Structure 1
């Protein structure tokens, strides 16, 4: 069965480091989709202390991940990884539902959801 969101071990480690650094231990990781970006939709990740009745709750690598039921179809099957290089590190997001994305890689469009593009 495909997870809505799959967090790699490297990404989970980085999220836990960020939680410790930002004193967010005990928080949930929210993975979301927002309108905006060059292609109309953009990803969001952040920490939240409370979950909503409209959230799907996932447990991976010792983290609790929240995804709103509204965002589930848009990001179903998405893989989030963390890559380190000589230029630094960053999260990578591979969404099988994205049919187009902008050059900067931070916004996308799906066949069913276009969003509202903004200038990059």
Structure 2
């Protein structure tokens, strides 16, 4: 049975949305969306990829939060369903982070995971 849209939803925090808005402002392109993808590789098996994009394909799912659109291709969405995307700033630096309930392990850098 196929998962419902709600079960496959990925959330974007207000803090992450604020950062995307700031990046759109810096790039001078109000159409930019945050694209999240998953690819094979990384120290734990899969790696998260973040980019800004102003185009979508028919394979993309879009989620709108706090005035920002999060775009995820359907293959990546299978591995990300139920995740929350945040933006954190600390002494080490700043980055988008993924809290993924599907990950059975993650690496120390937080940018790769396994299922």
Could you state the TM-score of these two structures normalised by the residue count of structure 1? 0.82
Unaligned runs of 5+ in 1: 111-120
Q: Which of 82, 86, 92 pairs up with 2:87?
A: 82
Which residue, 5, 10, 16 being the options, matches 1:11? 16
Contact 1:81 1:92 in 2 (8 A): yes
2:60 touches 2:74 (CA, 8 Å); kept in 1?
Answer: yes
1:65 paired to 2:42: no
After TM superposition, what 4+ stretches of structure 1 lie above 3 angstroms from structure 2?
none
**Unaligned residue ranges in structure 2 (runs of 5+):** 1-5
Q: Tell me if the contact between 1:28 and 1:49 (Cα under 8 Å) persists in the aligned partners.
A: yes
Match of 2:3 in 1: none
Q: TM-score, normalised by structure 2?
A: 0.85
Quote the Cα distance in structure 2 between the aligned partners of 1:13 and 1:77.
21
Instruction: Provide the secondary structure at the position in 1 that maps to 2:37.
Output: strand
Correspondence for 1:37: 42
Aligned-CA RMSD value:
1.6
